[in-house]
Amino acid sequence: MARRAFSLIELLIVLGIIGLLSAVLVAALGASRERARSLKCASNLRQLAIALKTYEAEHGEYPCGYRPPAAGDSYTNYASAANDLPGWWWLNSVASYHRSESPGQSILWCPSRRIIGTQHRNNVLRANYGVNGSVCGRIPRFPSLSLTDTPEPSRTLLVMDAGYALIFWLQAADPPQPKVDFDLDFPAYVPGLEANAQRFISKERQYDAIHGRHAGKTLNIAFLDGHTKRVRAEDLAVRIEDGRYSNKSPLWTPR
């Protein structure tokens, strides 16, 4: 008995099913890769938190987020001479507390980093991790704190996914504050925060700022006690309550 051939309609249905399954598989693989990148990011932050805590235990305070160079200073220049302030960054202070690797493997680089163009692609200060400026200060205006200065270390931000290596709570304000001087020197933002749409953010970092670092506009953060957590970007927004800016948890300002 002769075999019945597929009709054109049946063939199209089969091809459509194959296409649908392929699309589902590609989406699932993409989501799986992003979960793996997010887990690697959280691991990076956990190691950086340990390095920062170790520095605090040895020196009695957390490292400065940034301090200007003094005459005769010798330091690794993480900054881009054309776009960033030269000087000592917290990355210099913790360099001896973690293993140094190539940029693609280093814990200083977020695996979910999205940056457009080549101008800042190799600039580790931008669109990777940032320390909380309320804890790791900016000399001479904002001194660094010690662990004893922070009554709630399990709720206070230490280091996080950020648009720049040093981030202050004002840069998470919603509605945004008028541009202040450290916006020019430290152009930070919380990736995925809705208020970023109202702020000027350079073109190469706009995707990271508007669409977020991880799936669902989430980001990873590490606290002063060393634990890490994945949170929504909006959880970090600092909003006006009773006439003043405040946030409940996670805490930007520890006291």
Query: Tens digit of pLDDT for each residue in 78-101?
Result: 777 778 888 889 998 998 888 766
* Mean pLDDT (whole number) for 44-52: 96
Output Rg (C-alpha) for the chain, integer angstroms.
22
Query: Are 136 and 143 within 8 A, CB to CB?
Result: no
Query: Is the residue at 225 inside a domain?
Result: yes
Q: Say how far apart CA 135 and CA 159 lie, in whole Å.
A: 10
Residue 27 pLDDT: 66
* Mean pLDDT (whole number) for 218-235: 95
240: pLDDT strictly greater than 60 = yes
Residue 241 pLDDT: 80
Domain assignment of residue 235, given as a range: 11-246
Q: Say how far apart CA 150 and CA 160 lie, in whole Å.
A: 18
210: pLDDT strictly greater than 90 = yes
Query: Are 115 and 109 within 8 A, CB to CB?
Result: no
List the 238-241 sheet strands across, edge first: 173-174, 238-241, 244-246
Query: Are 130 and 89 within 8 A, CB to CB?
Result: no
Query: Is the residue at 67 inside a domain?
Result: yes
* Mean pLDDT (whole number) for 67-73: 76
Q: List phi, psi (to 5°) of 149.
A: -80, -5
List of residues 6+ apart from 222 with CB closer than 8 A = 45, 46, 48, 49, 157, 158, 159, 160, 228
192: pLDDT strictly greater than 90 = yes
Residue 231 pLDDT: 95
Residue 33 pLDDT: 78
Length of the chain in terms of residues written:
255
Query: Is the residue at 3 inside a domain?
Result: no
| pLDDT-above-90 percentage for the chain | 48
184: pLDDT strictly greater than 70 = no
∠ CA 234-239-243, nearest 5°, is 170
Query: Are 131 and 159 within 8 A, CB to CB?
Result: yes
114: pLDDT strictly greater than 60 = yes
Query: Is the residue at 252 inside a domain?
Result: no
Residue 188 pLDDT: 92
Query: Is the residue at 92 inside a domain?
Result: yes
Q: Say how far apart CA 156 and CA 148 lie, in whole Å.
A: 13
Lowest mean pLDDT among 24-38, 59-73, 187-201: 24-38
The total of structural domains in the chain comes to 1
Lowest mean pLDDT among 60-64, 121-125, 238-242: 238-242
Closest CA to 48 of 157, 155, 211, 152: 157
Residue 88 pLDDT: 86
For residue 245, what are its two tokens?
């800016």
Report CA 81 to chain centroid distance, whole Å.
22
